[in-house]
Structures are given as structure tokens and as C-alpha cells.
């Protein structure tokens, strides 16, 4: 539609007017006659079409006829013809002009999981199409962070007023407020795309408990995370095993949280977790995980920037320690590492061996260590000392062998999951060990069920 007036500015004025009149969802009608459609949300959170909008330079019979057809097509009770001089409302049944109606919506934001995912997909596609960055998801996360900040400051109405320059200025303030020590990336969008970003994000809550999970799922599907994320099947196995322990009011320590795949899954699935301490040594990844927690309103997670192998972190014992270490890594000996028993020989020491010893220190008596280890760790001579240390400090409850493709696309290393319980006294022994061999990831639920049955004293199939 080519006009001499500023259609974009008028469109934004109309959208603001519609939202102020009780229509929280306004969408551009790309493939219909109308320019916009506005909706209320019913008690179930479903969209209810209320009005179609035509934006014209001036009123005309042709514009009115087009509006009538659009209202009939969408079955809206009202129609709106917007011009620079005035907004003309019509009742669709008679198409006579009326006073501006007032709408009542039962919900302000979309919260249905399927609809939320659709909104996320739309926004992420919009970002990908308009900025050149592999971290397009970060642009989305920054937008959510700004909205969280405005909401907490009781200023969410300012969101709609933001220009692109003001948005980035505010983003710097937000980073400082939440103590996120990141360089603020400022990739510019075309102005119209930025406005779409603004009013599309306004459809969803400023804070929502599953934002972390939704964003991580999108990141994983698009392969934009590298080695700082656990593959979905293994993440689910960690979660299901820990939930099977049936602990009440317990604490968790994730020794290398990365983007928080396992931590997020645990927090979103187990209300008995009182506190989850997540430590990460990579400052950038630490910042992303912290941002994910903020926009999700997650207050049970304490995020620590540091090296879990260092004694300077003053980490407290936890009822469950999660070990998902970098596979195949080695550490040069340094003062704090020299204190580890597994670091008595050689100039370098396996990162996994260090993680396993540290985990036995951080687990509370009677608590658990759930660890992912390369299968070679169970048999090679180099890990003899570490295995002896584990047997001295821990009860080995179960070893679950996973298929070689469990960690794809990140690695094809064959791994096993160890479930260890810390001894309450040195002479404590275990009666038997549950061994499970999963040939496919589809057998993970059966392994979990077998472990649960074994824990309760049932017979194994």
C-alpha cells in the first residue's frame, strides 16, 4: 500500500489505542484484506477475534467495503477504519458508525504453551531474517530481560514507547542492574522489523516460569550452543533418575551448569528442590544462564561464577551432586589441584578424575552423586586410583551403560551414568549393584523404572 502519509507511525498509534481499550493481542494480517486484527483472550487463554482494522490515508467507500469483507471473513463484531485524522468504528452486523467500544479480556498475556512456542518461533524467525548473528536467540533473551526489568520497576507500559536507540541504552542499564558482565551487543534491525519485535513480545508475559526451557529447546534445535549443553535424552535421564530418588526438601549442586539444561529440567519438574547451586567457569555462559533464570522468575537457583575445582568458592554440601564434565580434558597441576588425592602423579591430571573426587567432597553424607562418565573410565588403568577412591567414599548403587549416540550431535563418545550414594560412615557397604545396558535411547525410561523398582526392593524383570 503506497501512500504519502506515514503509515507505520499511524499503525503504531492504532495498536497502542487498541491495547489501551482492552485488546492485548494485535496482529498484522499479511495474507488478508485487512491490515490488522485485534483479539481478547478468554478464560482458557484462547484468542477471540474482536476487530479488523484498515489503515488508509482518507475514508472512502472502497475502503469501507474492503473492511466489511474482512470483518465477515474473520467474523469479528467490530471493524475500524483508521486515518490520520480520526478512527472510525463500525458495528459489523449493521456497518453503521458507533462510539469506540471498550473490551474486556480475561487474560493479559498468552500463556498456553503451544501458543507461546508459536510466538517464540515467529520472533526468532523475525530476528534471524533481520540481523546477522549466530546468537539470534540472545537478541530474544535480551528483549525478555528488558521486559522483566520494566515489569519489576512497574514500568512495563514503557516497552511500547521504546525506539531502537532507546532500547539499547536501556539494555545497558538492565545489564548493570542485574550485574551481568557482558558486552552489550547491538545489532540493528530495520525499523519496521524492530517494531514487530516490540509488539510481538508484548503478547507474552514479562516473566514466565518456562522461558528458560523454551529458549533452551529452541537453541538446541538450531544447534547454536556447542559443548555447553547436554543432549535432550541424557538431560531427561539425569532428571528422571534424580526425581526417582524421592527426596523431600533437598538441595542440588550442578558442578558445571553450562546453559543450564539439566538444572532447568530439574527445577521445572521437581517442587521439592529447595535450592540449586549452579557453578560455571565460563563468564559468557554464566551470564546467559543467569539471564535465563531472571526472565523465568527462578529464585531457587544460586548462580556462581568460578571453577568448581577451586576451594575458594566455599561451596556447601548438597543432597544431590550433578556431574556432567567435559569429556577427555586434562588440567595442568596448580596449587589448588595439588591438594586432590587423584593428582599425586604426573604433571597433568584428568578433569574427570578431579570432578569425581570433588563430587565426593560436595555430596552430603547419605546424599547422591549422579555422574556421566566415558565408559573407558570404568575399566582403564589410569582411573584405578579414582575408582578406588569412589569405592572408599561412596556406595555404588547403579551403572547404566548408554548407547554410543547418546550425546550426539555434540560427541559420539560412549558413556555410562553412575549413581553413587555417599557413605554415612566409613564401614558402610552396599549389598548389590544394579547394572543396566541401554542399547537405544528408547530404553532410558525402562532403566529408570528398573532403578526405581530396585530402590524400593522389588524384583527386577
Tens digits of residue pLDDT in 49-68:
999 999 998 888 888 898 99
Q: What is the mean pLDDT of residues 439-459?
A: 90
Q: In whole numbers, what is the pLDDT of the chain averaged over residues?
A: 89
- Please report, for residues 106, 185, 258, 271, 279, the alpha-carbon distance to residue 324 in angstroms, rounded to integers and kept in the order given: 44, 30, 10, 22, 12
Q: What is the mean pLDDT of residues 393-400?
A: 96
pLDDT surpasses 90 at 228: no
Q: Output the pLDDT for position 409.
A: 64
Q: Output the pLDDT for position 438.
A: 95
Q: Output the pLDDT for position 227.
A: 54
pLDDT digits (tens, 9 = 90+) for 69-85: 999 989 999 999 999 99
Q: Output the pLDDT for position 393.
A: 96
Q: Output the pLDDT for position 260.
A: 92
Q: Output the pLDDT for position 133.
A: 75
Confidence of residue 225 (pLDDT cuts 50, 70, 90): low
pLDDT digits (tens, 9 = 90+) for 275-298: 999 999 999 899 999 999 999 999
Confidence of residue 461 (pLDDT cuts 50, 70, 90): low
Q: What is the mean pLDDT of residues 398-425?
A: 88
pLDDT digits (tens, 9 = 90+) for 40-49: 999 999 999 9
Q: Which residue has the higher pLDDT, 278 or 409?
A: 278
pLDDT surpasses 60 at 214: yes
pLDDT digits (tens, 9 = 90+) for 317-356: 999 999 998 776 777 766 677 788 888 766 678 889 999 9
Whole-number percent of the chain with pLDDT over 90: 64
Whole-number percent of the chain with pLDDT over 70: 93
pLDDT surpasses 60 at 161: yes
Q: Output the pLDDT for position 418.
A: 97
Q: What is the mean pLDDT of residues 18-35?
A: 84
Amino acid at each position: 500500500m503506497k501512500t504519502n502519509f506515514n503509515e507505520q507511525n499511524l499503525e503504531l498509534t492504532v495498536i497502542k489505542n487498541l491495547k489501551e481499550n482492552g485488546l492485548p493481542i494485535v496482529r498484522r494480517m499479511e495474507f488478508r484484506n485487512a491490515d490488522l486484527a485485534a483479539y481478547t483472550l478468554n478464560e482458557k487463554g484462547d484468542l477471540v477475534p474482536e476487530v479488523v482494522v484498515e489503515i488508509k490515508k482518507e475514508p472512502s467507500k472502497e475502503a469501507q467495503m474492503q473492511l466489511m469483507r474482512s470483518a465477515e471473513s474473520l467474523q469479528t463484531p467490530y471493524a475500524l477504519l483508521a486515518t490520520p485524522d480520526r478512527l472510525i468504528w463500525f458495528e459489523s452486523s449493521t456497518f453503521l458508525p458507533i462510539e469506540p467500544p471498550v473490551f474486556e479480556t480475561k487474560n493479559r498475556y498468552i500463556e498456553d504453551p503451544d501458543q507461546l512456542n508459536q510466538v517464540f518461533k515467529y520472533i526468532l524467525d523475525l530476528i534471524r531474517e533481520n540481523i546477522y548473528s549466530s546468537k539470534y536467540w540472545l537478541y530474544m533473551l535480551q528483549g525478555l530481560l528488558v521486559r522483566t526489568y520494566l515489569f519489576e520497576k512497574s514500568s512495563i507500559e514503557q516497552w511500547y514507547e521504546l525506539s531502537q536507540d532507546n532500547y539499547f541504552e536501556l539494555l545497558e542499564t538492565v545489564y548493570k542492574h542485574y550485574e551481568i558482565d557482558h558486552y552489550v551487543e547491538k545489532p540493528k534491525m530495520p525499523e519496521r522489523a524492530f517494531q514487530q519485535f516490540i509488539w510481538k513480545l508484548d503478547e507474552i508475559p514479562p516473566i514466565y516460569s518456562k522461558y528458560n526451557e523454551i529458549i533452551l529447546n529452541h537453541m538446541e534445535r538450531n544447534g547454536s550452543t556447542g559443548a555447553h549443553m547436554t543432549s535432550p535424552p541424557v538431560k531427561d535421564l539425569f532428571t528422571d533418575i534424580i526425581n526417582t530418588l524421592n527426596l523431600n526438601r533437598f538441595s542440588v549442586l550442578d558442578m558445571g551448569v553450562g546453559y543450564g539444561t539439566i538444572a532447568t529440567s530439574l527445577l521445572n519438574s521437581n517442587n521439592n528442590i529447595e535450592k540449586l547451586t549452579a557453578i560455571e567457569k565460563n563468564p559468557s555462559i554464566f551470564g546467559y544462564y543467569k539471564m535465563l533464570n531472571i526472565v523465568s522468575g527462578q529464585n531457587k537457583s544460586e548462580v556462581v561464577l568460578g571453577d568448581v575445582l577451586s576451594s575458594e568458592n566455599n561451596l556447601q554440601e548438597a543432597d544431590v551432586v550433578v556431574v556432567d564434565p567435559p569429556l577427555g580434558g586434562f588440567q595442568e597441576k596448580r596449587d589448588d589441584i595439588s591438594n586432590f588425592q587423584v593428582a599425586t602423579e604426573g604433571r597433568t591430571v584428568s578433569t574427570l578424575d578431579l570432578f569425581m573426587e570433588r563430587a565426593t567432597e560436595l555430596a552430603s553424607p547419605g546424599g547422591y552423586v549422579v555422574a556421566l562418565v566415558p565408559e573407558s573410565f570404568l575399566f582403564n588403568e589410569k582411573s584405578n586410583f579414582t575408582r578406588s577412591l569412589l569405592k572408599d567414599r561412596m556406595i555404588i548403587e547403579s551403572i547404566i551403560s548408554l548407547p554410543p549416540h547418546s550425546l550426539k550431535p555434540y560427541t559420539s563418545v560412549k558413556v555410562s551414568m553412575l549413581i553413587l550414594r555417599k557413605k554415612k560412615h566409613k564401614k558402610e557397604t552396599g549389598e548389590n549393584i544394579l547394572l543396566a545396558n541401554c542399547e537405544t535411547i528408547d530404553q532410558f525410561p525402562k532403566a529408570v523404572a528398573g532403578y526405581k523398582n530396585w530402590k524400593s526392593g522389588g524384583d527386577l524383570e
